[in-house]
Amino acid sequence: MPQNKKPRNKKYAFSGKQQRMSNPKKILEQFHTQIGQLYRQQQIQEALNLSQQALQKFPNDINLLKNAGAFAGMVDNRILLEKYTLQALKINPDDADAHNNLALLLAEQKQFEKAIEHYQLALEITPNLADVHNNLAVSLVEQKQFEKAHQHYQTALKINPNYISPQWNLSLLQLTQCNFTQGWQNYESRYHKDHKGHKLTGTTPPKTSIPHYQGKDLKGKSLLIYHEQGFGDVIQFIRYLPLLKIQKGVANIALVCNLSLKKLFSTTDCIDHLLDEDEFNRGNLQGMDYWIFIASLPLHFNTTLETIPNQLPYLSSPQTDQNNWQSKLPQNLNNSFNIGLVWKGRAAHANDRNRSLPSIQILKPLWQLAEHRKKNNQSQLSFISLQKGNGEAIKPPPDQPLIHLGNQIQDFADTAAIVSQLDLVICVDTAIAHLTGSLNIPCWVLLPDCGTDWRWMLDRTDSPWYPNTMKLFRQQTDGDWDGVVAEVCKALSDLNIPMPQNTKPRNKKDAFSGKQQRMSNPRKTSTQR
C-alpha cells in the first residue's frame, strides 16, 4: 500500500479490481460471489447496493435482476422490488421466481386477483415450487376460495413435508372453518424452529430444562403454563387453567405472563405461582414437571366447537380497583349508557393495517347519534376512550366527546376495573375484546374483511368463545369501516336503553335483553352476511 495514504474503501477496491479485469464473464462472477457472501452474512442492504452496482454494468443479467428484486423485498423497498421484477419478466417471461416475486408484491398491495394470476403462471412454468403453492393459497384465502387454498397448502406439504409455513397457514384456515380436530394439531407448528414467523408471533419456547409437555398423564403433576403471542391470546386461553385441576388432576399450576397482565391474573384462584418474564428468567421457579404454551391447551382438551369452555365471566376486577377509577368516569354513571372505545391495536402487530381504524374520525357517526338522542330527550350516550398509544390516543381531537382514560391506564387490571363499570365496549380486534368478553361485559367487535383472525370464524355475528356477550360487525368490502360504523349506529339505535330512574344502578345487560340473550346455543345466533 502506498505510504501516507488512507486504506481504500473495500467497495471501491473491489470495483477497481473489476475494472482491471478484461473478461466480463469473470467480472460478473465476482459480483455474484460477493453478493452471495453478503446475503449469507445477512447483510441484505449491502447485497442490494452491490446488486445495483452490478446492474450498471450488466443491466440485462436475469439473476442480478431477480436477486436485486428479492433483496429489495427483504428491506421493504417496494419500489425497487417492482422495478427489478418487472425488468426480469420483460427479459424472460418464463421465469417462475420473478412471477412469484411480483405476485408477492401484488398481494402486499391487496391486488389478490392479479397476484393469483402470477402465482399460477409460476406454477405452470415450474409446478413443484412448494413456496409458490403456499403463497398462492394465502391469496386464495383472502379471495374466500377456501377449498382451493386447502388443496394448495396440502400440495406444498406433499412437495416438502418439512415446510412449516403451509402447515401453520393450513392450521389457521382449519380453525377458521371450525375444523378444530386437525386445526389444533397443525397449530402446534407455530413454535417450530423452522417456522420463519415464530419469533414475530411471540412463540419462542422458554429457556428452561423443564420437559415440554407432550400429552402424558398430568394427575398429581406440576405444570408451567408459558405465555405466547399477544395479550389477547393469553386472556382468551387462560380459561383452561381451572380445567387443568378439575379434569386433568394437575396438583400445581405456575403461569408465566407479561408484567402488564400479572395483576389482572392475580385474582385467579387456580394459579399457585404467578411470575412475570423477568422473575421466571431469574430462576424463581423450581420443581415443575412439565411446561406448555398456553395456546396448546385446547389441543390437549380435544376442544371442538361444541366443547369450548365458555362459562362467563372467568376473570374479574376487585371492587377496590373499580372504586379507584370511579371518580374518573362520568359523574352521571348511572344516568347514561356508558361505552368504552378502542379504535386501534398495537401498531407493531403484523395485521394492524387491516384491523385498526385509520383515525378516530371514522367514529364520528357515534357522536352524531349521541347528539340526536340528547335533542330528543332519549337516554344519553357517554363515550370513554380506553385507547393507548401515541397520537390520537394521547390527545384525541378536541371535537370528539370523549372522556379519555387511555393514557392513565398502567396495566390490564386498570382496564378491567374501568370496563367492569361500563355498559358496552366497542373495539377493533385487539386484546380489549378478549378482556371485555372474559369479564362478561357486552362487547361489539369491528372486524376487517382482509386478514380476519381465525378465532372469529366465518360469517358469524356472534362468538362461541364469548356467548351472549359479544357481537361481531364485519366489513363487507375491504377497508369499508364507514359501513361497519353505520351498522353499529343502527344497532345502538335499536337497543332498548331504559331511561334513568335516579335510583339503583342499571343492570348492564338490560339493554341487551331479547332473542339473542335468551339463546343458550351460541351456534343459533350465527347468521350468513
How many H helices and E strands in the chain?
Answer: 23, 10
Q: Residue 305: CA atoms inside 13 Å, Cβ hemisphere, count?
A: 15
pLDDT tens-digit series, residues 221-230: 999 999 999 9
Is pLDDT at 19 greater than 80 in this prediction? no
Which neighbouring-strand residues pair with 213?
A: none
User: Mean of the pLDDT values across residues 233-250?
Assistant: 98
The segment with the largest mean pLDDT, out of 161-165, 232-236, 495-499, is 232-236
Could you give the CA distance from residue 159 to residue 207 in angstroms, rounded to a whole number? Answer: 33
Given a contact cutoff of 8 angstroms between Cβ atoms, the answer to whether 472 and 427 are in contact is: no
Class of domain 319-494: alpha beta
Task: Express each pLDDT in 78-126 by its tens digit.
Answer: 899 999 999 999 999 999 999 999 999 999 999 999 999 999 999 999 9
| Per-residue pLDDT tens digits for 337-392 | 999 999 999 888 889 999 999 999 999 999 999 999 989 988 889 999 999 877 76
- b/e per residue, 440-473, with b = 16+ CB within 10 A? bbbbbbbbbbbbbbbbbbeebbbbbbbbbbbbbb
pLDDT number for residue 9: 43
Greater pLDDT, 510 or 453: 453
Report the C-alpha gap between 235 and 322 in whole angstroms: 19
pTM metric for this prediction? 0.87
Q: How would you class 287 by CB atoms within 10 Å of its CB: exposed for 0-12, middle for 13-18, buried for 19 or more? A: exposed
| pLDDT surpasses 50 at 521 | no
Q: What is the pLDDT of residue 522?
A: 35
Q: How many CB atoms lie within 10 A of CB 7?
A: 7
CA–CA distance, 17 with 83 (Å, rounded to integer): 29
Residues 158 and 128: their CA atoms lie apart, in Å, by 10
Residue 349's pLDDT is 85
- Mean pLDDT (the chain) is 89
Q: How high is the pLDDT of residue 33? A: 95
User: pLDDT higher for 336 or 140?
Assistant: 140
Strand, helix or coil for residue 25: helix
| pLDDT score at 528 | 32
Where are the domains positioned within the chain?
Answer: 26-188, 222-301, 319-494
CB 50 within 8 A of CB 34: yes
CB contact at 8 A, 58 and 67: no
The pLDDT confidence band at residue 514, using thresholds 50, 70 and 90, is very low
Cis peptide, bond prior to residue 313, ω within 30 of zero:
yes
What pLDDT, on a 0 to 100 scale, did the predictor assign at position 5?
Answer: 43
* pLDDT single digits (tens) 399-436: 778 899 998 999 999 999 999 999 999 999 999 999 99
Q: How confident is the model at residue 22 (pLDDT cuts 50, 70, 90)?
A: low
CATH of 222-301, one of 2.60.40, 3.40.50, 1.10.1740, 3.30.300: 3.40.50
From the list 452, 455, 431, the residue with the least C-alpha distance to 443 is 431
pLDDT attached to residue 500: 64
Q: Do domains 222-301 and 319-494 have the same CATH topology?
A: yes
In order, the DSSP letters of 270-313 are T-SEEEEHHHHHTT-----SEEEEGGGHHHHTT--GGG----S-
Q: Over range 164-184, report the average pLDDT.
A: 97
Angle, in degrees to the nearest 10, between helices 24-40 and 44-57: 170
pLDDT at residue 259, as a whole number: 97
Indicate the range of 42-46, 196-200, 374-378 predicted with least confidence. 196-200
Residue 470, classed as helix, strand or coil, is: strand
Classify residue 110 as left (phi > 0), alpha (psi -120 to 50) or beta: left
Q: Determine the CATH number of domain 26-188.
A: 1.25.40.10
Find out whether 517 and 509 touch, Cβ atoms under 8 Å. Answer: yes
Q: What is the pLDDT of residues 441-459, one digit of tens each?
A: 999 999 999 999 999 999 9
Quote the distance between the C-alpha of residue 382 and its chain's center. Answer: 29
Task: Report whether 227 contacts 294 (CB < 8 A).
Answer: yes
Convert the pLDDT of each residue in 292-327 to its tens digit: 999 999 999 999 999 999 999 999 999 999 999 999
| Average pLDDT of the segment spanning 469-489 | 97
What is the pLDDT, as a whole number, of residue 507?
A: 56
